[in-house]
Structure 1
Amino acid sequence: MPDATGLAGIGVSAGVAAGPLLRIAAAPALPPPVPVGDPEAEVRRAYAALAEVVADLERRADRATEATVAEVLRAEALMAGDEELRDAVREHIEDGTDAPHAIDAAFGTFREMFAEAGGYLAERVADLDDLRDRAVAVLLGLPMPGVPQPGHPYVLAARDLAPADTADLDPDQVVALVTEIGGPTSHTAILARALGLPAVVACPGVLRVAEHTRVLVDGATGRVDVGVDEATVVAARRDAAAEAAAVAGSSGPGRTSDGHAVKLLANVGSAKNVPAADQAHAEGIGLFRTELLFLDRASEPGRDEQITAYREVFRAMAGRRVVIRTLDAGADKPLPFLHQDGEPNPALGVRGLRVARRRPGVLTAQLAAIAAAAADCDADVWVMAPMVSTLTEATEFAAAVHEAGLPRAGVMIEVPAAALRAGDLLRAVDFLSIGTNDLSQYTFAADRMCGELADLLDPWQPALLQLIAICGAAGRETGKPVGVCGEAAADPQLAPVLAGLGISSLSMSPRALPAVRAALARHSYAECRRLAELAVAAPDAVAARKSVL
């Protein structure tokens, strides 16, 4: 391809695909403001538009074949139906603003608040923009934003992708995703991995590529070749089909070619996700996110409701490991019933296990519900706490878990302080689980929504791998499990490196399991150790990735 030029971004979902590039349609433009003659009628019109957006998102969630996509869509629907948002819309209309401009202004206010809050809320800014566009489109009688449907395979390019953009993606048409902004933990990255699509984010210049230009996307290296010839496109599709066939044939427990075990687990948010985990031959659940039960609640879920939700997953995973994470909430994942005050830097505030400092009863009640749910089930239930930083926190959490009658207590490694003292922590708890998303953010002092810093959040960064290596070595020395449940676990190229660093389990979206299983099976454990040494010794993430590919 002598005429091809290259763009560089961050590869967030491995695989190679090629095809003509198409873009998502532009957001609807607001018309000039008009006088409001009947404020109540205008409020009803605005509320009806928001309700239509909510209904559309819920329909898309019901149709979604991937549980991860469905969960994200339902979370977005909750945002569109938020009472505070509706109140803000009403206030603008009562001040004389017409419905489209009132919705635009209300979403704009929330957008500023979320962006300033940073962390999890900043990651939802793209969702707010998408909801605004959809509601305005309804009011103007325009089609809701969506992806092209040309009837042939193509590469989808956008500034960023909202969850609703990916809900109806047809894998027979959309063969890869490329966005101008975003990072390894953005929704685009998470959903691309869930859908098994090659994806590159933080790729400046992609929106300047003329539509229908043939491009080749490498989701591992982050390279996007522009202007490739038809022979290259055909070859890429042939190779992708061969790789997909090889991956689809993988089954059984995770292990290297010489039999070294690396347990392959699934991330779930509820019992609805378990069938997908079973279909992918998951060996258990490595991350059961319990916060989905608490979202958008004015009061804490009751004991019986919690027991029912946990028991459904435990029974579905009878005979297998289920690692359940206690409530991961706080200043940057605000829950109404916690009534938390604003903080100057939410990402460094009271979140995860730290909530128990203010509301110890929430943790005590949750542990009691988990214990009750586990009592009449055959699942091997392990319990871990998020955002643990010190040995004291780990020791106190382990005591609370055991006091509740649960046998295995662990902690998540999400801050460098915990990683550096992994050996001490493993003398107090039974296992560690590394959350690479937050560990990257805190290690490099880089907000996950800052596109300019997305390269720092690449899971191939040697400093991050070195922290993982410290945890893996502590696990080997103590004979206790150390897993990875962050998005890095879903990278097939990185899986052998993580195994070589001493990681004993990888937990991910079920869709990613076959490719990771196949990648591990192609390497001996000695090779994994060698690749890990090369990656840690590399000067940067790009060199680390190249050293093992």
Structure 2
Amino acid sequence: MTELRGVGIGQGVAQGPVVRMADALPAPEKTSSTAGTDAERARAREAVAAVAAELMQRGESAGGSAREVLEAQAMIAEDPTLQDEVDARIDDGGTAEWAVYDAFEGFKATLEAVGGYLGERAADLDDIAQRVLAHLRGVAASGVPDPGHPFVLIARDLAPADTALLNLEQVLALVTSDGGPTSHTAILAREKGIVAVVGAADAVSLEDGQTVIVDAAAGTVTTDPSGEQLERATARAAERAAAVDAPPSPGALADGTAIALLANLGKPADAADAVARGAEGVGLFRTEFLFLSSAQAPTIAEQRTGYTELLEAFPGKKVVVRMLDAGADKPLAFLNDAHEENPALGLRGLRSLRASEDILREQLTALAEADAATSADLWVMAPMVATVEETKYFTSLAREYGIRTAGVMVEIPASALLADRVLAHTDFASIGTNDLTQYTMAADRMLGSVANLQDPWHPAVLRLVGEVGVAGARTGKPVGVCGEAAADPLLAIVLVGLGATSLSMAPAALADVRLALSERTLEEARSLAEIALAADDAASARTAAADAVAALSPHQKEKKS
């Protein structure tokens, strides 16, 4: 028996035989075409179009975040610049296979050099190229295997197109050797409720047919387990299934301390699933869905319709709407599409809205009108707030439009360090841990080469969260967390210990977080926060907190009995 360690996604546990992902197709040799330039061009274009159509179809079937990811992949596949590179290689006498392979490799290197959002998209090119090559060769792309029985899938990483459509009746769990807690694989696994451990480097050593236990809560993969270990895992899985299937209740700690559990939503159509899973409201509604597919800003009436649909789904409940967060990875032609050397540090969030204040004012108008027509408790917040002056500006402007509850997102260390002064001038703060981690660690969250630094467990990030929590307690203002960190059940307890009064996450994560919180008191949460803060790095903080929870578990069970 051996134990492999990685980053667990959720609280699930599963067991079964290993099935490894097939290796990628071999790279084609550089040979001259015998079919002619026109024929090779036609073959390449047809293959790319077929793959793009397949990705779009998979996205339609999967829905949610997967749809957005796969639509982006389809757009990359048909990028005109990439097509020109393929044509150029064919014009030099190459085959369609060689031209596609070499062009994609070159394009990948270019995107990696650019970094940021485009750098992250470079990793998607491998999957797209493999699919195009498979189409050209008339063979199946190396995808999720189908052994005819339930299995634990082992892969270096999983393409979004495969993760989105995993057959959960067959795939018992997913283990990858690459990736981290904010990778596409992790995000989609969390959204689909897949038992997963990512970044388990030694997973490549596992063999087909080998029995393993995948424990997402502990972030471990146990190989060749004993009968007793298998029985314990089976019992835990049954307990968790019962807890997840139980009627949802409001979020609370074991001592009765209320912690509102809210949903992160990207469009009004997602509301029904959140309500069904017991969301107590919305902690982050991303308004970009109205803007990103438009060549010009949507009208007030168009926006009002979308916001009204959302608010009507949560009568009497809190709904936190984030103002348009454009820039960086979401440039808009009508707002901020000017080239910037480092867009993550440029004109984005509230900065870009102030530069085009008419769009900001129209959005506030539409929100105020939707609020007046519904019974939800509307809260509105500005993204990427860095200063006290920006806080005063947005809160004052929101008041001008009749918004009763206005707040700011804390995503920049500056606003976290001055949280007491920021909260003195606004109604609430919501911590976006994805960007806060990025700016604290000086590591672009869209760049795979620094993914190891993209971990909200880092004590530097947790210390900043604690600064906001303390400021919230002193000023009597709510402090929420709406980044991916809130969906990690163990980290959720630590965040509460640092002062978070509400947590917002993908709806699929609500049950696990609700269960984790219900087993800990506020005193225990604060103790776990101190333990994590005392660590030197993210991995040590996570391990120390997990070990502390394991030590607490017997005591907790005795208390409940």
TM-score of the aligned structures, taking structure 2 as reference length: 0.89
| Among 17, 33, 37, the residue aligned to 1:35 | 33
Using a 3 Å threshold, how does the CA distance of structure 1 residues 336 and 327 change in structure 2: closer, same or farther? same
Stretch of structure 1 that moved more, 38-47 or 488-497: 38-47
Residue identity opposite 1:57 in structure 2: L
Which blocks of at least 5 consecutive residues in structure 1 are unaligned?
A: none
- Hey, what does 1:155 align to over in structure 2? 152
Aligned residue in 2 for 1:196: 193
Aligned-partner SS, 1:260: coil
- TM-aligned CA distance change 1:191 to 1:380, over 3 Å: same
Q: Kindly state the Cα deviation for residue 490 of structure 1 after the two structures are TM-superposed.
A: 0.9
Alignment of 1:75-224 (within 5 A): 75-94=72-91, 96-224=93-221
Tell me what 1:329 maps to.
326
For 1:320 and 1:233, how far apart are their aligned partners in 2?
A: 43
- Equivalent residue number for residue 533 of structure 2: 536
Q: Does 1:428 align with 2:425?
A: yes
Q: Equivalents in 2 of 1:420, 1:310: separation in Å?
A: 33
- Cα distance in 1 between the residues matched to 2:189 and 2:458: 21
SS across alignment from 2:168: coil
Secondary structure of 1:362's partner? helix
Q: 1:50 corresponds to which residue?
A: 48
Given that 2:336 and 2:347 are in contact with CA atoms closer than 8 Å, whether structure 1 keeps it comes out as no
Change beyond 3 A, Cα 1:379–1:121: farther
- Structure-to-structure mapping, 1:477-516, within 5 angstroms: 477-516=474-513
Listed as ranges, the gaps of 5+ residues in structure 2 are 551-561
- State the 1:339 CA deviation: 5.6
Specify whether residues 433 and 300 from structure 1 end up closer, same or farther in structure 2 by C-alpha distance, changes over 3 A only. Answer: same
- Residues 1:231 and 1:43: Cα distance change in structure 2 (over 3 Å): farther
Measure the CA separation in 1 of the matches of 2:222 and 2:293.
Answer: 43
TM-superposed CA distance for 1:471, in Å, is: 0.9
> In 2, Cα distance between the equivalents of 1:288 and 1:538?
33
Task: Evaluate the alpha carbon distance shift between residue 315 and residue 46 of structure 1 in structure 2; reply closer, same or farther with a 3 A threshold.
Answer: farther
Structure 1 CA distance for aligned equivalents of residues 93 and 290 of structure 2: 39
Q: Distance in 2 between matches of 1:366 and 1:103?
A: 44
**How many Å separate the matches in 2 of 1:92 and 1:8?**
44
State the distance in 2 between where 1:102 and 1:370 align: 50
Task: Work out the CA distance in 1 between the residues paired with 2:313 and 2:129.
Answer: 39
* 2:461 is the alignment partner of 1:464: yes
Deviations 1:141-176 (A, max 9, x none): 121332112233322222222211112212232222
Contact 1:78 1:296 (C-alpha < 8 Å) held by counterparts = no
2: distance between equivalents of 1:159 and 1:515? Answer: 26
Question: Does residue 237 of the first structure (1) align with residue 234 of the second (2)?
Answer: yes
1:543 is paired with a residue of what secondary structure? helix
Between the aligned partners of 1:333 and 1:228, the Cα distance in structure 2 is 46
What letter is aligned with 1:293? L
Q: Is the 8 A contact 2:441 2:453 kept in 1?
A: yes
The question of whether the paired residues in 1 share the 8 Å contact of 2:164 and 2:188 is answered with no
Alpha-carbon distance between aligned partners in 2 of 1:154 and 1:199, rounded to the nearest angstrom? 13
Counterpart of 1:276 in structure 2 is: 273
Residues 217-246 of structure 1: CA deviation (Å, up to 9, x unaligned): 232333333333465345423321222212
> Secondary structure, in 3 states, of the residue corresponding to 1:474?
helix
1:347 corresponds to: 344
Alignment-derived partner of residue 22 in structure 1: 19
Closer, same or farther: CA 285–548 of 1 in aligned 2, 3 Å = same
Letter in structure 1 aligned against 2:61: R
Higher mean C-alpha displacement, 510-519 vs 532-541: 532-541
User: Partner amino acid for 1:271?
Assistant: P
Does the CA contact (< 8 Å) of 1:538 and 1:544 recur in 2? Answer: no
Deviation digits for residues 101-143 of structure 1, max 9, x if unmatched? 3433443344234323333333323323222222222222121
What's 1:521 paired with? Answer: 518
Distance 1:187 1:38 in 2: 39
1:181 aligned counterpart, secondary structure = coil
On the 8 A contact 2:117/2:447 being kept in 1, the answer is: no
Distance in structure 1 (CA, Å) of the matches to 2:228 and 2:246: 28
Deviation of residue 178 (structure 1)? Answer: 1.9
What one-letter code is carried by the residue in structure 2 that aligns with 1:536?
A: L
Contact residue 327 and residue 344 of structure 2 kept, 8 A = no
What is the CA–CA distance in structure 1 between the aligned matches of 2:13 and 2:104, rounded to whole Å?
Answer: 37
Matched residues, percent identical? Answer: 51
Give the AA of the match of 1:141: G
Distance 1:231 1:427, change over 3 A: same
Summarize the Cα distance change of 1:237–1:72 in structure 2 as closer, same or farther, 3 Å threshold.
farther
TM-score by structure 1 length? Answer: 0.90
Is the deviation greater in 15-24 or in 86-95? 86-95
CA distance in 2, matches of 1:451, 1:103: 23
RMSD: 2.7
Name the residue aligned to 2:549: 548
With 154-163 and 523-532 compared, the bigger mean Cα shift is at 523-532
Q: Work out whether residues 445 and 454 of structure 2, in 8 Å CA contact, stay in contact via their aligned partners in 1.
A: yes
Query: CA 1:518–1:390 in 2, change beyond 3 Å: closer, same or farther?
Result: same
State the alpha-carbon separation in 1 of the partners of residues 301 and 107 from structure 2.
34
Mapped partners of 1:321, 1:44: distance in 2 = 54
Indicate how the Cα distance of structure 1 residues 154 and 507 shifts in structure 2: closer, same or farther if over 3 A, else same. same
